[in-house]
Amino acid sequence: MSNGIELCGGGGADARSRGRRWGRWRLHIIHQRLHEFLDLRQFAKRVKLGQLNHELVRIERIQRALILQLSGQQLQKRAGQVDARSNGGG
């Protein structure tokens, strides 16, 4: 014997089963989207770190060039002082 609700609605047990499946499916989709979001965040972090690394390399190259330039200027200055002493009879 069945009631009218079960006949019209397709059965309470079936509806509950569909509801549970729908809930699990939604949780699966949410879980999947969360992982995709986290993967994108990790990718963004790696990209940012890569950009920072390139900037650091650029700064280090500039630093080396400035050190070489300063060293060259100091050598020229010392060479000028040596020349002045040898020419001046110092």
- Residues 27-47 have a mean pLDDT of 91
The C-alpha angle with vertex 47 and arms to 43 and 29, in degrees rounded to 5, equals: 15
Instruction: Categorize the per-residue pLDDT at 89 as very low, low, confident or very high, splitting at 50, 70 and 90.
Output: low
Predicted confidence at residue 5, as pLDDT, reads 46
pTM of the entire predicted model = 0.50
Give the Cα separation of 41 and 43 in Å (integer).
5
Residue with more model confidence, 10 or 22: 22
Predicted confidence at residue 71, as pLDDT, reads 94
